[in-house]
Amino acid sequence: MNYINQLLQQKISASLISNVVQARYKITINQQAIRRHHRKLLLPLLNDASSTPYGSAVDRLISDFSGRSDTSYMYVTHSINSGFVTCYNADKLDTEKKRRNDETTKQYISVYQNKVASWRKLLKVNDKATLLVAFAWCHDNKLRLARMFPEFFACDTTFGVSKEQRNLFLFAGIDSNNKTFPAFHCFMPSKELRAYHWALRAALPQLLTNHTLSMNSCISTDGEHAIYQPLRNMMDNVSYMKKSSHRLDKYHMFTKQWREKVTIKIGKCEFTKKDIKNIFNKVSRLFDYVETESEMNLCIKDYQLYYQSKKESFKNESLCESIEAILTSIESNLSYLCHHHFLNVTTFDFLGDSIAEAVNSGIKNGSTKVCTRMTIDTSAKTQLKISQDQSSKKNK
């Protein structure tokens, strides 16, 4: 009933219509006209309330968080024409246009025209013209941990956490027991640069606080430009992040790429498997052991010469192309991933391999977990429940 009352407050009271209008002429409205107008106003409201008696998923999300005293949150709303949500009709695009727009289209949330109505219904905020763009929060217990252990954070985006297809952007830290904890959560509208810009430049300093970030030494990310570009800008231009360094993590830049693009192409030849493993181990030294620039150059020269000596024996052009692409990517980002650049940076010997990934896994697995069938409010509640359960276990 509260939801209906809120909606009725936005409408002209039907009782006012029955008043006599004092003008040049005296106009009287009969009871039948009042009833017709009343029905015209109320029926759409009642129909809407009957389908979503407690409001939309977004209404419930905001209501739940506004009633909590242990969680800080921020959100941004916009119309469907904001650019964060775009309509995409593949049938109407010719091949050339698809090719030209491929890179830009995939940076947005693209939905087919016939699904726009369902998106409005799922993501509306009170009025049907406003959509929830992004929603960020930080639980007090996790903020406490972030303040106690602010030196090293890793961030990553995970998928499949709500039926509204909102990606979840996470900041994770490490406590004194070498256990990961989620410090910051944000439902993202897309993987677009300006979406991460809001999460990192607006929400993160407010929720995690400038003071916490001022004590940070290193933030690890994958190779996604939209994530690390705002971070690097902050480290260069914002006073409270002058002490922070950005590191591209080994897992996304090397380990995962190698497994997905190289290992699967090796075949059954044992000699090739051994040679590929040797190349992997030689490149790994850049991340793990190299302590000076001269050692770094020797390491690079060593694996390059070894690879060139074995290249002909692989007899697999696709395999060689994948190896060379990974090596080129690493060599162009040495200042953000090579071990010797981080000797004086507090990283606790973490290379970013497992921090954010472990938190993502903890959210999607276990007795309490999120899934794609959950609405956005249920997903957020579940994540808060996971955080509370983790805190309870640590306090026992």
DSSP structure string for 19-67: SPEESSSEE---HHHHHHHHHHHHHHHHHHHHHSTT--HHHHHHHHHHT
CA-CA-CA-CA torsion for 218, 224, 230, 236, nearest 10 degrees?
A: 50
Task: Give alpha helix (H) positions in 79-192.
Answer: 95-105, 116-123, 140-148
Q: Could you tell me the sign of the dihedral formed by the alpha carbons of 348, 354, 356, 360, in that order?
A: negative
CB atoms within 10 A of CB 175: 13
Q: Which two tokens stand for residue 349?
A: 């010997």
Q: Can you give the pLDDT at residue 268?
A: 85
198 SS3 class: helix
Helix (H, G, I), strand (E, B) or coil at 158: strand
Q: At 322, list the tokens.
A: 């994948």
Q: Report the distance separating Cα 282 and Cα 306, nearest Å.
A: 9
Cα distances (angstroms) measured from residue 61 to each of 66, 136, 316, 378: 9, 11, 53, 8
Strands 180-188 and 127-139: antiparallel
Which tokens is 256 given?
């995962």
Q: How many residues appear in the chain? A: 396
Q: What is the pLDDT of residue 33?
A: 76
Which residues are registered as beta bridge partners of 138?
A: 72
Strand partners of residue 219: 153, 246
Query: Which secondary-structure segment (H or E) carries 228?
Result: helix 225-237
The two structure tokens encoding residue 175: 């406590």
Shortest CA distance to 188 belongs to which of 136, 234, 111?
136
H/E stretch holding 111: strand 109-111
Can you read off the two tokens belonging to residue 61? 């999300």
Tokens of 207: 């929720």
Q: What is the pLDDT of residue 327?
A: 96
User: How much is the pLDDT for 36?
Assistant: 76
At residue 49, the pLDDT reads 55
pLDDT tens, the chain, 396 aa long: 454 455 445 444 444 444 444 444 456 677 777 777 777 776 666 555 555 556 778 888 988 998 899 999 998 887 655 555 544 333 333 443 333 333 333 333 444 444 445 555 556 555 556 778 889 999 999 999 999 999 999 999 988 888 877 889 999 999 888 888 999 999 988 888 888 999 999 999 999 999 999 999 999 999 899 999 999 999 999 999 999 999 998 988 999 999 999 999 998 889 999 999 999 999 999 998 999 999 999 999 999 999 999 999 998 999 999 999 999 999 999 999 999 999 999 888 887 667 888 888 888 888 889 988 898 999 999 999 988 887 777 665
User: Which residue bears the tokens 């993590």?
Assistant: 249
Measured distance CA(23)–CA(39) in Å, rounded? 27
Does the reported pTM lie above 0.85?
no
Would you state the structure tokens that stand for residue 151, as one six-digit string? 């030196």
